[in-house]
Structure 1
Amino acid sequence: MKRTLTDEQIARAAAHALGPGAEVLSSRELAGGTFNSVHLLTLAPPHGERRTPVGGGGDPPAGGGPVVLKVAPPAGTPLMTYEHELMRTEAEFYRRASAVPGLPVPVVMAAGFDRSALDADYLLMTRLEGLPWSELRPGIDAEEQARLRTDLGRLLRGLHEVRGSSFGYPYGNPPAGGAASWRTAFEGMLADVCADARRFRPPLPVDPDEVLGLVRARGRLLDQVAVPSLVHFDLWEGNILLAERGGRLEITGILDGERSFWGDPLADLVSTALFDDITRDPAFLSGYRPAPLTPDERRRIAMYRAYLALIVLVEGVPRGHAPQARTPLTALATADLRAALDFLR
């Protein structure tokens, strides 16, 4: 699914985004990710017409320099139901999240959704300083790791204070988007993934309808969520940048908001403890909130763990991944799905 852009495609996207005077001096494809194409571009100092940024916080580079071009798969690519309009979702996430004090997200300098420049949607964004936390992790000692996890909890608490007007995916079809209640939205989101499982037929450890049945039988727990909060839902350490500032590592970037939705803020406690139990991370929880998680809250988190595990198990088929290469990831997702369902039962 992921493709490498040609120099001509990159130049065309830059001209569409920034005007005909845009000049790309160099480009380099960034590693990581299996869905979108991401390239780091070096631009010449601008001349001629420039377009206005459409999202994020701060200012785009005024004198040219490095920017990030992110391009979706081409039209006609097999997608899971929730994966439609992901670029619009990501741009909306950065726009809304940029209002959170101290939360570092890219500025969206330009977005192309009409596919007049490329055969897919794209975002042109400012580059944030730092390297993925997952890459730096081996060199981080336990004390510094705990401090960073506490900082992440504080940042996430601020993100969840951003509120929406309805539940579900920003551009999702009802009931998975634009829903009046979180129960309606989440059951719709889960039903879509179950339908995707029947469509793509990945090997699964359980019948997806059993997962849906367990959630519906416990729907009263979802009714406890009355206000839609902005949820990132992909905050594993590979999507968080760290850089050294003042002699210590700091969180300098929150990336890849394309899976974001309006819903229960506790859903973000799934990817922040990817394939694990967030209650085993007291440093994060101390930054996120002082009160311990209640039994009902832990059951809701189990629902969201099951949802994410199903996404991971299904998405390898439409993305064309070799099953053998995904064996470690599949094993982790399978174990987490079973653990979540055991907790719900």
Structure 2
Amino acid sequence: MDYQPIVRAADDFQRPVSAAEIQAVVRAAFGADVEVFSAIELGGGYYNTTFRVDLGQGKPVILRIAPEPGRQSHADPELMRNEYISVPYLAPVANLLPRNLAVDFTHQVIGRDYLFQTMLDGVPAASVLNSYPQPERASFFRDLGGIARAVHEVRGPGFGRVAGPTHQQWSDALFTWFDRAAADLTDSGHEAGDIAKLVEVADRNRALLDEVAEPRLLHGDLWVGNVMLAQGAAHPTITGVFDCDRTWWGDPQADWPIYLAQRKPGSERDAFWENYGQLGHSEHAQWRALVYEAKHAVGLLLEYHRFGWAKEIAETYGEIRALIARLAD
């Protein structure tokens, strides 16, 4: 086997997988006589450990291996299982998604969840989008807006993670997530007081959150980093979407692509709204948008703590405190 792992530091969050373990999961999934010709670890992701695996049977497959159970978070646990359960609800964009080939959540082979998927055509958008002239990138964001709209049209049974638990009130789902994020910070020895203050301030206007009465599907991570583009195309053409593991039922305005599309007004990102449509701008909607911005900031804070990025951690705590002040006005 041509085994090419990424060399990581001992304290990195992503843990290595041996050549023997890759061979074991391949045989468990595809048969005892299947050989692995190569297993090349892919960079770019920060959570699962991902390999492109050549089985000598045509196109390689993708192997994604989740963190060990003890490394799962309170706020966003078992992301791979959440994605697996979400697949039927992502039917409106099924033509863009990888196909699941084999999955094992038993931990009997390697003690971690793992999933084999088909390999999407194209090249990662993160590596090539900026090679296009800025005006041409507008077509990418326009198409991304259409994908987000198609996802948001799907209605759900309650608010919260697709894998559950779900809640009847939107505020309950959000505040439960904040509480679990605070627990993650506390467990790792970090400051969580700002999260408690955020919930306290937002709770004063809980009724404004619960004006959102119909749960819609949120992708949770739809943006440049999780999209494939056609290789060599004259214009950036989306051929695939991957890493759909942060799906939620909630207010579409709270979704990650909505947050990012608003971050650079006056840029090519404005084309996103041409296919997505315009958001409501009522006073209540603007207040909810601050809560959602705070949720994204807390999510990023958890990521930065996991990576040990001190500068980003300090800046994000500052952003959260500023948002608390604006919510309290």
Identify the TM-score tier after normalising by the shorter chain: 0.7 to 0.9
Tell whether the 8 Å contact from 2:221 to 2:256 is kept in structure 1 after alignment.
Answer: no
1:168–1:102 Cα change, 3 Å = closer
TM-score normalized by structure 1? 0.82
Aligned to 2:16: 4
Cα distance in 2, alignment partners of residues 292 and 282 from structure 1: 16
Runs of 5+ consecutive residues of structure 1 not aligned to the other structure: 46-63
Residue from 63, 83, 96 that aligns with 2:89: 96
1:49 is matched with none
| Alpha-carbon displacement from aligned partner over 1:173-196 (angstroms, at most 9, x marks no partner) | xxxx22112122112111211222
1:103–1:155 contact (8 Å) kept in structure 2: no
Matching of residue 73 in structure 1 with residue 67 in structure 2: yes
Give per-residue Cα distances to partners, 1:232-257, cap 9 Å, x unaligned. Answer: 21223212222247632211222212
Change (3 A) 1:328 1:227: same
Residues 234 and 271 of structure 1 are in contact (CA less than 8 Å); yes or no, is this contact kept in structure 2? no
Gaps of 5+ in 2: 1-12
CA–CA separation in structure 2 for the residues paired with 1:6 and 1:275? 42
Residue type of the alignment partner of 1:157: R
Q: 2:167 matched to 1:179?
A: yes
The alignment status of 1:114 with 2:106, answered yes or no, reads yes
Kindly report which structure 2 residues correspond to 1:119-198, keeping only aligned pairs within 5 A, or say none.
Answer: 119-172=111-164, 177-198=165-186
1:17 maps to what in 2? 29
- How many Å apart are 1:94 and its aligned residue? 3.1
AA partner of residue 273 (structure 2): L
201, 208, 212: which is aligned to 1:214? 201
- Work out the CA distance in 2 between the residues paired with 1:333 and 1:251: 31
How many matched pairs?
A: 315
Task: Give the direction of change, closer, same or farther, for the CA distance of 1:75–1:185 in structure 2 (3 Å limit).
Answer: closer
SS of the residue 1:81 aligns to: coil
* 2:313 aligns with one of 326, 330, 333: 330
SS at match of 2:64: strand
- In the TM superposition, residue 126 of structure 1 has moved relative to its aligned partner by 0.8
| Structure 1: distance between partners of 2:262 and 2:83 | 23
* Local SS of the residue matching 1:179: coil
Find the counterpart in structure 2 of residue 225 from structure 1. 212
User: What pairs up with 1:178-327 in 2 under 5 angstroms?
Assistant: 178-203=166-191, 207-244=194-231, 247-269=234-256, 273=260, 276=263, 281-290=269-278, 293-317=281-305, 319=306, 321=307, 323=308, 326-327=309-310
User: What per-residue deviation string (whole Å, max 9, x for no partner) do you get for residues 94-113 of structure 1?
Assistant: 3321x115751111111110
Normalised by the size of structure 2, how large is the TM-score?
Answer: 0.86
CA separation in 2, counterparts of 1:333 and 1:286?
31
User: What one-letter code is carried by the residue in structure 2 that aligns with 1:150?
Assistant: R
Q: Note the alpha carbon deviations across 1:132-164, whole angstroms, 9 max, x for none.
A: 322223312222221211111111000111222
Moved more, 31-40 or 329-338: 329-338
Provide the identity percentage: 30
Q: Distance in 1 between matches of 2:132 and 2:321?
A: 31
Contact 2:93 2:151 in 1 (8 A): no
Question: What secondary structure, in the 3-state scheme, does the structure 1 residue paired with 2:157 have?
Answer: coil
Indicate conservation of the 8 Å contact 1:202/1:313, yes or no.
no
Q: Is the partner of 1:252 in helix, strand or coil?
A: strand
Query: Hey, which of these two has a bigger chunk of helix by percent?
Result: 2
Code of the aligned partner of 1:86: L
- RMSD of Structure 2 on Structure 1 (CA): 2.6
Gap change, CA 1:269 and 1:37, over 3 Å in 2: closer
Please give the alpha-carbon distance, in whole angstroms, between the structure 2 residues aligned to 1:248 and 1:277: 21
Q: 1:75 Cα shift?
A: 3.2
**Displacement after TM superposition at 1:278 (Å):** 7.0
User: Given that residues 170 and 210 in structure 2 are in contact (C-alpha distance below 8 angstroms), is that contact kept between their aligned partners in structure 1?
Assistant: yes
